[in-house]
Structure 1
Amino acid sequence: MDLLFTVIVLTLLSGLAMPFGALLAKIEHLHPSWLKSELRHSIIALGAGALLSAVALVLVPEGTSNLSPLVACLALTLGGVGFMLLDILLKKINSPASQLVAMLADFIPESIALGAAFATGSSSAYLIALLIALQNLPEGFNAYRELKDGSSMKSVIIILSFVGLALLGSLSGILGYTFLYDLPKVVSLIMLLASGGILYSIFQDIAPQVRLEKHWSPPLWAVFGFMFGMLGHMLVH
């Protein structure tokens, strides 16, 4: 029971990074021109680095540990193709919530994997929680700006909806902890599907937004994001 409580708390805290990112995006009045340029690009780059470290250090290594190379490659590819089709669909319907959907497509399977990791006693469970929080912060930032610019939703409604999504992460963690603890191959499939989707998102939506004319610090934040994941991996192992 104590371990299940830990899963609930960690998935909730990781999810609350989304509304925290939204609050950061809301304070435009502090320095509008800087927030819309260098800070925004830096936050995007931080998210890209965290996502990349999640794939390289946790999701792919653990996902491939229980699957054959053929099945692993197929799952990774299907994840990328699935995100591509989702991206095409959102573009066709001209939805202002594409970043929000992409955020959920990462957060839910990772929360399921986090719950399963605690159930199986994986040493990477806490690292997964850290990486989820690191990526949810910039994704919440971007999703808030996208919804605010493309819809008539009030700021408080957007932020409260992000809090609700954090609760959805806890439910996903409970699902993984309760039902997938003895299905390591299913957990590995979920990890690799999420990895393929994340890699697609990095190079399709995130990386092109990192570079900023006459500013050189934003790409460095991608290094910082990856470094955080690397440090956690080294501390765990």
Structure 2
Amino acid sequence: MIQLILYSGFAGITVFLGGILANYFNHHVKESPVKYEITHTLMSFGAGIILSALALVLIPKGMQELNLFPFIFSFLFGALLFMILDQYLAKKGGQTATLLAMMMDFIPESVALGAVYAIEPDMSTLLAVFIGLQNLPEAFNAFRDLVQSGFTIHKTLIIFFFLSFFGIIGALIGHFVLSNYPDLTSHLMTFASGGILYLLIQDIIPESKLEKSYLTSLGAILGFLIGIIGEKII
């Protein structure tokens, strides 16, 4: 059990580390066109990693365990619910799409980590590393979005610190509650997939685009490649 907490703790702490790195980069690196391009490339890189989690982990798990119509229901329910939530947040003037996508990705995968640990401990080690690598660029981008939405740096870092522990909570729930209910875990992952895909297309990918720059799109390709490498190793 200590090992599971350590694995999920590592996967979660990168949320806080990503926020610290974003704070340093935003406030201690001189403003320049290169900095602007790096920021957008990291946004694109994070989008690629989120997309890889969607395509290689969340959706395949749902398709493996669920029949067609339950899968469709959970997927569309996730997309529609997050469309409504996104509209509500947009009216309030917030930029929280990246944070929402990160948590929609992080929490189901942490639950899966706990469930997998009960069956295949070796695979859970690699899955923890994979989740941790995903969280770093996602948190980097989410920090920037929250600060631009009006959150103070101090408050944002506190939020990220507490979000880091969601991995441990999710893993313990997956291990003790959901390891014997693969259908329920699959519904959770499929629901998350619909919401993530909506947020990617509506908010995150358009925000990462930078005029007269082709490096940003390459960032998404590299992010997706990281996901392929992680899945291949697992």
TM over 0.5: yes
**What is the letter of the counterpart of residue 5 of structure 1?**
I
Paired letter, 2:218: L
What displacement does 1:36 show?
A: 5.1
Identity of aligned residues (%): 37
Give how far 1:174 is off: 0.6
Alignment of 1:62-141 (within 5 A): 62-95=61-94, 97-121=96-120, 125-141=124-140
Per mean C-alpha deviation after superposition, the further-off stretch among 68-77 and 22-31 is 22-31
* Structure 1: gaps of 5 or more residues: none
Q: 1:12 aligns with which of 3, 9, 12?
A: 9
Aligned CA-pair RMSD:
2.2
Write the deviation string for residues 121-179 of structure 1: whole angstroms up to 9, x where unpaired: 387544543443233223322222233233252x2342233111111221111111111
Q: How far apart are 1:98 and its partner, in Å?
A: 5.0
How far is 1:13 from its partner?
Answer: 1.7
User: C-alpha deviations, 1:28-63, integer Å up to 9, x for none?
Assistant: 332322475211111111111111111111111122
> Which residue in 2 is equivalent to 1:39?
38
Distance of aligned partners of 1:199 and 1:6 in 2 relative to their CA distance in 1, 3 Å threshold: farther
**Structure 1, 90-99 or 36-45: larger mean CA deviation:** 90-99
Q: Is the 8 A contact 1:76 1:192 kept in 2?
A: yes
Q: Which residue of 2 aligns with 1:171?
A: 169
Q: Which stretch has the larger CA shift, 108-117 or 93-102? A: 93-102
CA distance in 1 between partners of 2:168 and 2:34 (Å): 31
What is the total number of aligned residue pairs between the two structures? 232
Deviates more, 1:19-28 or 1:125-134: 125-134
Q: Aligned equivalents of 2:124 and 2:68: distance in 1?
A: 24
TM-score by length of 1: 0.87
Q: Under a length normalisation based on structure 2, what TM-score does the superposition of the two structures give? A: 0.88
AA in 1 matched with 2:192: A
CA distance 1:122–1:34, change in 2 (3 Å): farther
Q: Could you tell me which residue of structure 2 aligns to residue 156 of structure 1?
A: 154
Gaps of 5+ in 2: none
Preserved CA contact (<8 Å) 2:97 2:199: no
Instruction: Give how far 1:186 is off.
Output: 0.5
Q: Aligned pair in 2 of structure 1 residues 101, 57: CA closer, same or farther (>3 Å)?
A: closer
In the alignment, structure 1 residue 48 sits paired with structure 2 residue 47: yes
Amino acid at match of 1:26: N
CA contact (8 A) 1:54 1:128 kept: no
Contact 1:50 1:131 in 2 (8 A): no
SS in 1 for 2:133: helix
* Per-residue deviation, 1:11: 2.1
Q: 1:207 matched to which residue of 2?
A: 205
Alignment check: 8 A CA contact 1:51 1:131 kept:
no
Where does residue 24 of structure 1 map in the other structure? 21
Change (3 A) 1:93 1:135: same
User: How much does 1:109 deviate?
Assistant: 2.5
Whole-Å Cα distance in 2 between the matches of residues 45 and 99 of structure 1?
A: 11
